[in-house]
Structure 1
């Protein structure tokens, strides 16, 4: 006759075994869900100016401000096991030395949540092209605890003249006249259960590689080639776009030039 403690241990062991088995099956089932992502990226405007790209910058340097158009259909990335997709746009350009890998800089990102994920104010809400009403602030939405509805299905984006969230800087401090620059779309899928998956460019089973996803090559213009107004260099505001993580830098309170 087993004691009560032994019986509880047996029940708990059986429960954890069943839970682990079910979670494994759910995680593996994601790989049999077909994926056919596609995207079209085009450059709208690029400007290179010299100044302090951030309020905590300690010196003046050249930085680039890029606006772009994006039409993407990533709806097939969402299945029964998808919680959210971290989407980002990066600029890729050759390094100054041939022996070094190309430089990459993220200029825009967004969190695309599935319909089953709990609402968060940092989730991306697609702007309604037909709406002329002012966008409601994150603070008001959080107070009302309501999630704005997107005009398109989850995973479908149609952005025109999109402002970047981040300015591009280079370790050399110079960006003018750099050539062979491309914009590239990337993502990271976070499932409810299982491993994270990143952008795939090749066909893997029922997963098709990303069609498109890269813009045509362009060049950073010379500094001062076109006078830039302060309004033209504004970045998109978002609560997820104002974090200092790397090195935990302490911001310097200096005016942006």
Structure 2
């Protein structure tokens, strides 16, 4: 005869095994849902200014301030297992130095804007006041996936973050592009990022890359040249 403790351990072990199996099925179900995101991003204005990285710094660096427009349809990323989608836009440009192996060029990449899009049933997890939270919890009960979730329309959007490079110099840098990325956080399963290759029903972002542009000369230099003229 087994003791009560041993029987409890057996029951708990069986329970956790069943939970793990069900969770694995839920996570695997995401592979059956097609992901066909598409996006269009374009640059509207770019400025390069000089500033200090922190208050006590005596050395100034060059920072790029970017305005852009974004039209994206990420609604296919929302399934019954989607908790929220983190979407962000990055600026990428080649580095002037070679890689450690002496072959090819390194690529600099910095995030200029980001946003979190929650599933209707996860709206109450946002950092909001208690009164607004009660309303969201009440309105989200039994609510299906909103088809408009994941659709973004930004016009002449100012970047959230000024960006710089490891060298501290950005002015007159060529071959810069903006790229749209996303990260899907499920209720159960692993985080998935923007795929670099197509995998089954998961497609790469259609579009999502801007035309190549150039960081302009320093704004201060331009103003000085106008005064001299």
For normalisation by structure 1, the TM-score amounts to 0.74
Whether the aligned pair in 1 keeps the contact of 2:75 and 2:147 (CA below 8 Å) is: no
Alpha-carbon offset, residue 70 of structure 1: 0.4
* Equivalent position of 1:112 in the other structure: 117
The yes-or-no answer on 1:193 pairing with 2:194 is: no
Spell out, residue by residue over 1:19-40, the C-alpha distance to the aligned partner (whole angstroms, 9 max, x if none): 0100000011111111100000
1:101 is paired with a residue whose SS is strand
Alpha-carbon shift at residue 4 of structure 1 (Å): 1.7
Instruction: Confirm whether residue 207 of structure 1 aligns to residue 202 of structure 2.
Output: yes
Are residues 206 and 29 of structure 1, via their aligned partners in 2, closer, same or farther at CA, if it must alter by over 3 Å?
same
After superposition, residues 156-167 of structure 1 pair within 5 angstroms as: 156-167=151-162
Within the candidate set 212, 216, 225, 1:221 is matched to: 216
- 2:88 paired with 1:101: no
Pair 1:52-2:52 in alignment:
yes
Per-residue Cα deviation, 1:131-170 (whole angstroms, up to 9, x for no partner): xxxxxxxxxx525334789x98111100111111111111
Would you say 1:154 and 2:154 are equivalent positions?
A: no
Pairwise mapping of residues 62-101 of structure 1 onto structure 2 (< 5 A)?
A: 62-99=62-99, 100-101=105-106
CA contact (8 A) 1:53 1:167 kept: no
Matching of residue 170 in structure 1 with residue 165 in structure 2:
yes
Which residue does 2:143 correspond to in 1?
none
Q: Return the offset for 1:72.
A: 0.3
Q: When the two structures are superposed, what TM-score results if normalisation uses the length of structure 2?
A: 0.83
User: Structure 2: how far apart are the matches of 1:54 and 1:66?
Assistant: 21
Once the 2 structures are TM-superposed, how far is the Cα of residue 56 of structure 1 from its aligned partner?
6.7
Equivalence for 2:13: 13
Q: Could you say which structure has the higher helix fraction?
A: 2
Q: Which has the higher strand share?
A: 2
5+ residue gaps, structure 2, are: 100-104, 140-145, 224-229
Deviation of 1:226 after TM superposition, in Å, equals 5.4
Q: Cα deviation per residue 1:78-133 (whole Å; 9 max; x = unaligned)?
A: 111111111111000010124441100111111111112142445xxxxxxxxxxx
Q: Residues 56, 218 of structure 1: CA spacing in aligned structure 2 closer, same or farther, 3 A cutoff?
A: farther
- Cα 1:167–1:54, aligned 2, differ >3 Å: closer, same or farther? farther
Deviations 1:190-221 (A, max 9, x none): 11111111101432111111100100000000
CA contact (8 A) 1:202 1:210 kept: no
5+ long unaligned stretches in structure 1? 123-140, 228-257
Following TM superposition, the consecutive aligned residue runs of length 4 or more in structure 1 with deviations greater than 6 angstroms are none
SS in structure 1 at match of 2:182: strand
